[in-house]
Amino acid sequence: MQPESWFVQLTAALSGEAPVVTADERAALLDLARIAAHTSERWTAPLSTFVAGVALADLPADERARRLRALVDDLDDPDDSAAG
């Protein structure tokens, strides 16, 4: 199934309540999932994106994207991971 078709199906299953995910948000969420999966266990990837999405859900799309990117940059900082 094509990704766009999957999201149409998902939105329909959620009774049309799914937000539109911008290209910037998508890129940041995929980066967040990558970081989670590569620095922990694979199951942390979907749960991390869920938690971030819920935490930022009330923000406008451009602010969500900016905050997601900042979160990814913070978590992907090799200096931070070496200190922990």
Q: What is the pLDDT of residue 34?
A: 95
Q: What is the pLDDT of residue 42?
A: 92
Q: What is the pLDDT of residue 4?
A: 82
> What are the pLDDT tens digits along the chain (84 aa)?
888 888 888 888 988 777 788 899 999 999 999 999 999 999 999 999 999 999 999 999 999 999 999 999 999 986 655 444
pTM for this entry:
0.82
* Alpha-carbon gap, residue 25 to 82, rounded angstroms: 27
Indicate the domain borders of the chain.
Answer: 18-83
* Alpha-carbon gap, residue 39 to 50, rounded angstroms: 17
